[in-house]
Structures are given as C-alpha cells and as structure tokens.
Chain A
Amino acid sequence: MRILLDKFSKSFGSTKVIEDMNLEVASGEMLALLGPSGCGKSTTLFAVCGIHRPTSGRILFGDRDVTNLPSQERNVGVVFQSYALYPHMTVEENIGFPLMVKRAAAPDIKKQVAAIAALVHIDNLLDRRPSQLSGGQQQRVALARALIRRPDVLLLDEPLANLDAKLRLEMRSEIRRLQRETGITAILVTHDQVEAMSMCDRIAIMKSGEIVQIATPSAMYNDPRTSFVAGFLGNPPISFIKGTAFQGAFVSGDGHLKVPLAALSGISDDTPLTLGVRPEHFGTGGDIAVEGRIVFAETQGRENLYDVALPDGSVLRSIQPVRNDIKPGDQVRWMLGSDAAFIFAENGQRL
C-alpha cells in the first residue's frame, strides 16, 4: 500500500522538528529514512504509525487519510529499536498479541502464530519468555509480531542497532527477504548508510527535518545532490578538499592541485568550491597526479586504506588492493580520476 506524506509538519512545543515534508513510498517498496541522530527520521516514522500526531499536513495510506486515526486503527506493524517485547508474555503470546486484542479465536491465533514463527525461523522458541532469548531471537519475535496481522505498512525503527556485527549482517538479508516475500510496503529508519543501501529500494536522506535527496542507493552514491549526501554515503567516506575556481578548473588552497572539470565552465574565477573524491577514485588509476605523504595506513584484509596528506594539509583517502610496499611517512605520487570527482558550491550544492 502506498504511503504519502503531504506537507507533513511536526513540532514539539515551540521546537519545529519537521516542516512541510513531502514523501511518497510506492506500494511494495522498501524505503530507508537515513540521517544522523536528531534529523527527524524517527519522528516521521512515529507520525506514520500514529504514536505522534502531525502538527499539520496529511498522511495517506493508499487513498485513505489516516492523519487523525489513532495507531490502533492504522493497521501498521512496527519493529522498535528496543524490540519492545512484553516481558511477562511468552514468545507465542507476544506474537499473538495483535490478534488477541482483536479478539480472534484462540485456535486461529495459534495457527497463525505457528505460521509466522516458521517464516522468521523461531518456531522452536514459542514457549520462552523474551528474557530467555538472545538479541537476534528477540528481533525475530518483534518482526513476527509486527507482521502477524498482515499490516498495510511495516515500519522499522533502527531494528538492527542493538545487534552485534555478525547478526546484523544476517538480519539485514533476513528482513529484506521477509519484506519481499510478504510484498509489504516498508519504511526503515536508520543512521547506518550500509544498512540503508543494502536493504532498501530507495533511500530518503534527511538532514535537520528535511529530505535532502530521494533516490535508489546506486543513483544516490553516484550522483549525490549535496556534499552532505556525498559525505553520508560510502564507507570509507569521501574526502573533501577546499579550493577555488580558476579558468574552468578546481584549484586547491595553495595551488598545488589543479583539476579541470567540465561542470566548472561558466563559473567565475575565485568562487569558493569543495572537491569531493571517493577513496576508490584515488590511487593507481586516474588522470591527475597528486603528490603527498602517507599519514595513516590501515588494512581491512582484502583492501588497504591510506590517508594521504597534501602539501596544504588537506587529506585524500585511498582504498587499494592489499600491497605491502607503502608505510606511513612515505612520499607517494598517486593518480586522481577527475571524471568521477564531485564538485560542490560553498552552500554544499553539487555543480
């Protein structure tokens, strides 16, 4: 079911968290709300599920206006960051709770709980209590509880934040599998760009209560609209170098680095600019030579990560297949791919 936020605004007292936000999630789509803490992504999610009421604007599920409906009547499933399992109930009672409060028949509840528990692979844990489960198992119970009443919308509030790294990887694909199998429209709130990129069809990246860009993960990675988006996506992150425009080229602060860029034609000289270079576009391949000194080296197993300090003090990051010939302190002369570099105006807009 399609979700539409129309000029949605939310303020707490005099604090405006979100103003005039428009967002559409297509039916069956999984969308990530990605942003740093305090950007309003959880507030948006809570407004969609009805825990918070919008200050103004409309929220539509399909064509149904749910803006003023209490959460009980919205038919949404929510997985909370802390899972919010009921500690005094068994796993079976937890999962069956949404049906129980609807006064469904007991045998019917039992049957549906068994089916959904099998779907999330916890059918052997039904008699346990939440305190007797591991984090990953609790996570699955929370998912099952959110899914059991076939909600129109599945909302996930940082569902993986409390899991350890290995489990996080496993649950990432697990949640995506369930979402695909059930064909449910889902919104995932996260501050982890890897999670957002790997799990979702589209990403809406938020900053200070506004959506900066909505795009598919690869489009957003390759074509960020602002320096904020470029900086948020990618691990290891992009590196930025301050400089100015000069005759259709970017020139770093001390003039050492000069990158001619097509996007800069028609930009007047001495306009302050920021150059963004992803670590994979700086290294052995490229068209512009950059000299610098290795200040930091880190191996990640398959790849090595190097920080190269330029003469003016700015740092370029490089990721390369493992090599043992370079150590911190070495002078290097590596190549930068100018066609893959991003150029941003002073206000962060990409040119």
Chain B
Amino acid sequence: MRTSRTLGLFMIAPASIMIFLFFLMPVVLTAIFAMTNMSTATGISGGAWQVTQAAVNRLKTDLPELADGIAEPRFIIDEEGLKELETLKLKPGFAAELRAEHMGEVYPSRREAERVIKALKDRPSTREVKQISDLFNRSVLNTRFETRDELMANLKKLGFDLTPQQQDIVARATYTGWIWTTDNFRIISSSPDMAQIFFNTAFYVSVTLLLFNVGYALFLALTTHYMQASTASVFRAIWLLPRITPVVIYVLLWKWLTWDSGFISTFMSQFGYPPKNYLLDTAYNAWFFVILINGFIGASMGMLVFSSAIKAIPQTQFHASEVDGASRLQQIRYIILPQLRWPILFVTCYQTLSLLASFNEILLSTRGGPGKATEVWSLAAFHTALNNYTGNLEYGLGAAMALVLVVVGIILSLIYLRIFRYDTLISKPLIED
C-alpha cells in the first residue's frame, strides 16, 4: 500500500513539476510583478539615484523650494575645483586668491559666482571667467549616484539640510530603479482610460458570448437537430471552417472584405459610395466586425457541444413529447433546453474566460482601433506591458491588469456555477424499491 502510494507520487512528479513551472509560476510571477512599478525606464534589476528633470517635477508638489533649488546650478569654491583650476595653467593668482579669500563660499547662481571671479585681482577675461566658473559648478542635476547616502551627502554639501522625512521624499523621487508599490491598482481603479477599457471588455465579452458563442451556437445546434443527418453535417462543417482556418489567414480574409479596395468597398462603389476602410471607419463598424470575427470562431465550439448533448437525449423522449402533444417549440423549450443546462454552463464559462483572455483576433484586425475604440482589457495589458507605442513598457502595470483579469475570471466562474445551480447537477439519485 505504502509503496504504491510513493510510486504514484513518483509517477505524477513530472506532471506536478510542469504544472508548477508553467501554470502556477506565471500566476505567482504576475502577482509579484503587479506589486512593482517595473518598466523599461526602471529596468528589472536595481537602480540608482538621479535628479532628473522628471524627479524635480515630482518634488515640486511636496518640496517646492528644494525642487527649485536643486534644479538651479550651484557654485561652491572648494579644494577639488581649485586643484582643477591649477592644472589649467591659467594665471596662478586666480587659484591662490580664491583659496585665500573665498574658500567654502556657496553661490546659488552662476551670476553671483561669476561676479566674484570677475572681481579677482588678476582680472580674468570673460572667456576665462566662464572657464573657471564651470569648474566650481556643483549642481546635482542629472548626476547619477550609486547609493542614497551619496546623494544626500552631495545635497548637504550644496547647502540643502533635509530632515529624514524630506530625505525619504527626495530619495523616492530620484530613484531610477523599480520599487514595491500598489500604485498600479490605484491607477487601474482611478484612471478614466481604464474604465473605458473595462467597459469595452464587458461589452465585447457579453455581446459576443450572448449573440454568438452561446446564442448562435444553440440556434445552429437546434436547427441542425431537426434537419436530415446529411444536411446537418454539411452545415456543421461550414461553421467549423472559421475555427480550423489559421487565425492570421481568417482575419486576413475579413480584412480583404473590409479594406478600402476590398469586397464591400467595390460592391458599394457600384451604388456610388466612395471606397473606405469599413473595418476602421467608425467605432461602430469596428465593433461590428470585431464581434463577427470572434463570434464566427466561437460559435462552432458551442454548436458541437450542444449538438452532441442533444444527440445524447434518448430518441424516445422526443417521440414521447410529440405524442404528448408538444410542438417543436415546446419540445425545445421543455425537453431540450432544460437538459442542456450543463453544456450551456460549460460553454458560457469556458467562452467567457477565453474571450476575456484572447486578443489575437482584435490585434490582427483593428489593433484596438480606431483610436482606442476596440481596445479590450487583455489587449490593453499586452500594449501596456509588451508592445507600446511610446516605447516605455510598463511591466508592473501590465501584470496588474493581467491579475485583474484572472480575478474577474474566477469571480465570473463562481457566479455561473451559482446561477446554473451546479450542486443540483451533481446530486445523487435516491433510488429505492
């Protein structure tokens, strides 16, 4: 007994490893990435501290004085600068006088520094004044510091005495690497763009599901059920074509249909309408075609599942209901549909999840356009994290969006199980005699 149990574990080990690596790890990693602000800008390894113009802008709200201060150049007469001045082989009096008279002085602007240099006894020329002042420019703007302490030391040298809180704010604003944050979810919940994408997704999934993946599939299954077997199989085969055609070719056919030199344009030009791209013409048209493209693929699966489920209903039940006086519509309503509850649940659940997660047809046809009219959640996540027009790929935000998709999928599945009363579908019969 014990050995067989160990053997079982051993046998299932490769599968467990696969499941762990390729199913669990991606979800876990997505969750981890979702809690960061990783992007092309931050990189995925550690970062440095750098007072960029963007960092200054970020500081402006919390520490406006500091922001203005560090944005300006700063001039300090220090030993480092003096040594460099000496190597320049200008008049030695410059360095000597600066060391003697002005050592350690801080000038908040170039003008003030240059006035002092100009006043030196050896009278530097205007070109030399410029040359000298550059040597004492100690601005932190665009300087990269490997550690936080280095940044703080330099700021202190520049005369910015910061409290620990202020130091935190500056460090956060100037850090170029990724950090742990829940900002992604704040962005998702508050951005109007995200709300629009969410609405798009809800519209796309519910309409495609209702009209095609379940509705039209049911219609096909029911009508083919009442056809002769040979005719029915021809119809089913035709509706399988979109599913078995490679998706790129299938979408290309739709593009041929809708291009400005395509079939619809050519046809409509017969009636005097100028050619146009019917696919991307208006948001309304784009949705129309996006739903058709996806629906025609999706309908075939439901059709197959429903057809076989109807076939599984014993023939005598149809005979009995006819004899009982039921018309075809009553037969569908009272005999067939109640017995298709489980297949309908399965198809609804499965197709909701696949519609939520798949964006390849939309990507190939409208790319989410025109504008962002047909941008759905998964496509937006793809655009955000992996294929971005601006070039800044926001892995963290994209992962957060993907995570939202996973959660929404789980919640919807639970709701479906509830609606279709899954527990009654698996209840045990109480046979007695």
Interchain CB contact under 8 A, A50 and B322: yes
Is A87 positioned at the interface, with any CB of B under 8 Å from its CB?
yes
Interchain CB contact under 8 A, B323 and A134: no
Query: Could you tell me the distance in whole angstroms from the C-beta of A66 to the nearest C-beta in chain B?
Result: 13
Query: Could you tell me the distance in whole angstroms from the C-beta of B279 to the nearest C-beta in chain A?
Result: 44
Interchain CB contact under 8 A, B323 and A49: yes
Is A88 positioned at the interface, with any CB of B under 8 Å from its CB?
yes
- B322, B339, B429: the one contacting A72 at CB < 8 Å is B322
Which stretch (B23-31, B297-305, B326-334) binds chain A? Answer: B326-334
* Total contacts A-B at CB 8 Å: 77
A-B contact pairs, 25 of them (CB 8 A): A49-B323, A51-B319, A51-B322, A51-B323, A72-B322, A74-B323, A78-B319, A80-B319, A81-B316, A82-B314, A84-B320, A86-B317, A86-B320, A87-B339, A88-B339, A101-B327, A101-B334, A128-B430, A131-B429, A131-B431, A132-B430, A132-B431, A133-B431, A135-B433, A136-B433
Is B324 positioned at the interface, with any CB of A under 8 Å from its CB?
yes
Determine the chain A residues whose CB is within 8 A of the CB of B330 once the complex forms: 101
Given A88-B338, A101-B325, A101-B326, 10 extra CB contacts under 8 A: A72-B323, A80-B320, A86-B317, A86-B321, A100-B334, A101-B324, A129-B429, A131-B429, A131-B431, A149-B325
Q: Mark A117-138, 1 if CB is under 8 A from B, else 0.
A: 0000000000011011111100
- A78, A128, A135: the one contacting B320 at CB < 8 Å is A78
Determine the chain B residues whose CB is within 8 A of the CB of A132 once the complex forms: 429-432
Closest residue to B338 on the A side, CB-wise?
A88
Query: Could you tell me the distance in whole angstroms from the C-beta of B229 to the nearest C-beta in chain A?
Result: 13
Known interface pairs A78-B319, A82-B316; A145-B324 also in contact (CB < 8 Å): yes
Query: Could you tell me the distance in whole angstroms from the C-beta of A115 to the nearest C-beta in chain B?
Result: 18
Determine the chain A residues whose CB is within 8 A of the CB of B320 once the complex forms: 78, 80, 84, 86, 145
Closest residue to A80 on the B side, CB-wise?
B316
Is A71 positioned at the interface, with any CB of B under 8 Å from its CB?
yes
Task: A102 to B324: give the CA distance in the assembly, Å.
Answer: 9
Query: Could you tell me the distance in whole angstroms from the C-beta of B19 to the nearest C-beta in chain A?
Result: 36
Is A97 positioned at the interface, with any CB of B under 8 Å from its CB?
yes
Query: Could you tell me the distance in whole angstroms from the C-beta of A165 to the nearest C-beta in chain B?
Result: 14
Task: A303 to B362: give the CA distance in the assembly, Å.
Answer: 83
Interchain CB contact under 8 A, B323 and A97: no
Interchain CB contact under 8 A, B319 and A84: yes
Please classify the interface of chain A as helix (H, G, I), strand (E, B), loop, or mixed, using the class held by over half of its residues: loop
Contacting A at CB under 8 A, from B153-168, are none
Interchain CB contact under 8 A, A97 and B321: yes
Determine the chain A residues whose CB is within 8 A of the CB of B316 once the complex forms: 80-82, 84
Task: A70 to B317: give the CA distance in the assembly, Å.
Answer: 16
Task: A145 to B317: give the CA distance in the assembly, Å.
Answer: 13
Determine the chain B residues whose CB is within 8 A of the CB of A88 once the complex forms: 338-339, 341
Known interface pairs A80-B316, A87-B339, A149-B325; A97-B334 also in contact (CB < 8 Å): yes
Is B188 positioned at the interface, with any CB of A under 8 Å from its CB?
no
Is B363 positioned at the interface, with any CB of A under 8 Å from its CB?
no
Closest residue to A149 on the B side, CB-wise?
B325
Q: Mark B366-393, 1 if CB is under 8 A from A, else 0.
A: 0000000000000000000000000000
Determine the chain B residues whose CB is within 8 A of the CB of A89 once the complex forms: 338
Task: A89 to B335: give the CA distance in the assembly, Å.
Answer: 9
Closest residue to B320 on the A side, CB-wise?
A84
Q: Which of A74, A101, A102, A131 has the most CB of B within 10 A?
A: A101
Determine the chain A residues whose CB is within 8 A of the CB of B335 once the complex forms: 86
Task: A78 to B429: give the CA distance in the assembly, Å.
Answer: 26
Determine the chain A residues whose CB is within 8 A of the CB of B314 once the complex forms: 82, 84
Interchain CB contact under 8 A, A70 and B326: no
Query: Could you tell me the distance in whole angstroms from the C-beta of B56 to the nearest C-beta in chain A?
Result: 70
Query: Could you tell me the distance in whole angstroms from the C-beta of A132 to the nearest C-beta in chain B?
Result: 5
Is A77 positioned at the interface, with any CB of B under 8 Å from its CB?
yes
Determine the chain B residues whose CB is within 8 A of the CB of A97 once the complex forms: 321, 324, 326, 334
Query: Could you tell me the distance in whole angstroms from the C-beta of A228 to the nearest C-beta in chain B?
Result: 30
Which 6 pairs across A and B sit closest by C-beta, in order of nearness?
Answer: A84-B316, A84-B320, A134-B433, A131-B429, A98-B324, A88-B338
